[in-house]
Structure 1
Amino acid sequence: MDYKLPDVPQHMPACRVTIMNAGFYRAPKSAMLKGDKQGKFWGPALFALIEHPEYGLILFDTGYSTRYYDSTSKLPYSLMRLATPARIAPEDNAVSQLRKLGIHPEDIKTVILSHLHADHAGGIHDFPHSRIYVDRQEWEFGQQSKFKLLTNGYLKDLYRRIDRSALRLLDFDGDGVPYGPFPKSIDLFRDGSMVLVPLPGHSIGQFGMIVNVSNEEKYFLMADAAYFRRNYREGKGGSFIGRIAHYDVRRYEGWFSMLHALEQANPNMALIPSHDPEAYEQFVKSPAPSEAASASKRER
């Protein structure tokens, strides 16, 4: 199979991508990468701001928010906080970080939620004026009882107030078309700039997004298709504790070989797992020049 992605359209609008982080989780490294000896660490909850010249400001996920503390303050939901402690300050919330850049909640035209787990959809209620994209299967799964969802890693309170009129449900089975090695994809704006691809396994309806800035600059926002780049580079999943966190662990680990081949075949594309400390160091603490210029421009 050819894992090289298609060239971008010649007149495609050029987006800007800024990788950001909203909160941290505490976990044993071995839970996510079997055999790792690092012990417990604080991992990021990355999200992305995309500036599209025609469709405006877009978020891919929102990371955690301080609402996590309210949602896990009582039993049985406090069990999630015990299992996965989080560190989130008010200034870490996506909406707070955006305000520092001069961006108000109503300026965000679109929010794309890779899936509905607390560390990805935690801040969605801060963007009531946005169109919100979620996979149809993911949304339907997320309407079960709060307690049943808890056992699958969801906190329903964090997304239950989404206005249905703002919701756009994605149907990859009905609307998807091939894109490179992916048998199904949805070109969100039909201009080649932002291509959504299903990545089920970690959750029932998780998907990722390929942002094509140019043929020389691409980003694959892959959510939790792998926790770390080392997962797919070394072909290793997590320990037993980590494995039970996935909806379908075989499908989750089944993506590793494809992700590795995709990275090798597309050297100009950065694969960005949402919880990889190395990705946090690279894109948040030491952003690429284009990202730093984008942030500087907004601040002026």
Structure 2
Amino acid sequence: MRVLDPTYEGLESAAAVCHALLVETDAHGLVLVESGLGLDSVDRPAEVLDPEWVELVSPRLDRGETALSRVAELGYDPADVRHIVLTHLDVDHAGGLPDFPEARVHVMAAEYEAAMAEGPSRRYRPAHWAHGPRWETYGTGHGQEWYGFAGVQALRGLPEEFLLVPLGGHTAGHAAVAVRAGKEWLVHAGDAYFYHRELDTGSPESHPLLDIVQLDSQVDAELRIANQGRLRELASGHADEVSVFSAHDPWEFARFTQRS
């Protein structure tokens, strides 16, 4: 994906990423958080992807970069991916769904409804769910409070270490995915923000290139900004308990890769 320059000294330029998580559970198989672009997107971009999106983003169309290939590279059988949890259904988050046809796909109901109503569009590509995923959708008005976030829900068929946190604004049913890892929560915030300095408490700063994408793709600016502020409070107020990261920031991805 497009190369990004940092907004301050000390970092090298880097390409934007699609940050996914693969979680091995004791009794529920493998859980994939986000699916990136899949084999169909790589092999048949002219048929599967929107040409305008491809021109804007310049994705790296490489089979080796797909979630399917990475799961196999780690020594796992892709058929063991039983659950996929998505922050939303944008092309670069849901594109890998056809590569795991038997997985149950967890997403907010509002996001599912928007994708079914609006696709095909630059954002939503029906080819990514033409295989008939086993959808698990979650409405609002339910759930519990979690670190000040309301309506947080446990995921059907998964242990309590997996949570879906409503974070609308980028899309109609955008959410964060929280995963308990030992004493720490990992919070995949998807596209609720695009650049790590947006979570700085002193002087938040957006990235000039990523901010163009962020503003162009939002459906509710007021809600997006409010939820970004709540994430900022979560990250700063509970840094010893919670690690928050986004989908496309390459510097966050590098930091987590070094951790693992």
- What's the TM-score bracket when you normalise by the shorter of the two chains? 0.7 to 0.9
Structure label with greater radius of gyration: 1
Matched, 1:254 2:226: yes
> In the alignment, which residue of structure 1 is the partner of 2:85?
112
User: What does the per-residue CA deviation read over 1:254-298, in whole Å, with 9 as the maximum and x for residues that have no partner?
Assistant: 2222112111221232111111111111123x2x2xx3xxxxxxx
| Structure 2 counterparts to residues 29-108 of structure 1, below 5 A | 42-69=15-42, 72-73=45-46, 77-108=50-81
Whole-Å separation in 2 of the counterparts to 1:94 and 1:36: 31
Alignment-mate amino acid for residue 26 of structure 1 = R
Matched, 1:228 2:195: yes
Whole-Å separation in 2 of the counterparts to 1:76 and 1:51: 30
Matched, 1:241 2:212: yes
Which has the bigger relative contact order, CA under 8 A and spacing at least 6? 1
Q: Secondary structure at the match of 1:129?
A: coil
8 Å contact from structure 1 (residues 235, 256) kept in 2: no
Unpaired segments of 5 or more residues in structure 2?
none
Which TM-score applies when normalising by structure 2?
0.86
Alignment-mate amino acid for residue 241 of structure 1 = I
Matched, 1:172 2:120: no
User: What does the per-residue CA deviation read over 1:55-76, in whole Å, with 9 as the maximum and x for residues that have no partner?
Assistant: 2210111112343355642699
Alignment-mate amino acid for residue 138 of structure 1 = E
Q: Secondary structure at the match of 1:115?
A: coil
Relative to 1, partners in 2 of residues 1:145 and 1:186: Cα closer, same or farther, differing over 3 Å? closer
> In the alignment, which residue of structure 2 is the partner of 1:198?
166
Whole-Å separation in 2 of the counterparts to 1:206 and 1:75: 22
Higher alpha-carbon deviation: 126-135 or 263-272 = 263-272
> In the alignment, which residue of structure 2 is the partner of 1:11?
none
Root-mean-square deviation (Å): 2.7
Q: Secondary structure at the match of 2:110?
A: helix
Q: Secondary structure at the match of 1:73?
A: helix
Which TM-score applies when normalising by structure 1?
0.75
Higher alpha-carbon deviation: 258-267 or 196-205 = 258-267
Relative to 1, partners in 2 of residues 1:211 and 1:145: Cα closer, same or farther, differing over 3 Å? closer
> In the alignment, which residue of structure 1 is the partner of 2:175?
207
User: What does the per-residue CA deviation read over 1:125-157, in whole Å, with 9 as the maximum and x for residues that have no partner?
Assistant: 01111111121111111113544x32xx22222
Unpaired segments of 5 or more residues in structure 1?
1-24, 292-300
Find 1:159's aligned residue among 117, 125, 129. Answer: 129
1:93 Cα deviation after fit: 1.0
> In the alignment, which residue of structure 2 is the partner of 1:295?
none
1:180 Cα deviation after fit: 2.3
Percent of pairs with identical residues: 22
1:109 Cα deviation after fit: 1.2
Whole-Å separation in 1 of the counterparts to 2:186 and 2:49: 38
8 Å contact from structure 1 (residues 52, 58) kept in 2: yes
8 Å contact from structure 1 (residues 71, 155) kept in 2: no
1:160 Cα deviation after fit: 3.1
Whole-Å separation in 2 of the counterparts to 1:126 and 1:218: 28
Alignment-mate amino acid for residue 182 of structure 1 = F
Relative to 1, partners in 2 of residues 1:94 and 1:52: Cα closer, same or farther, differing over 3 Å? same
Paired residues, what number? 252
> In the alignment, which residue of structure 1 is the partner of 2:254?
281
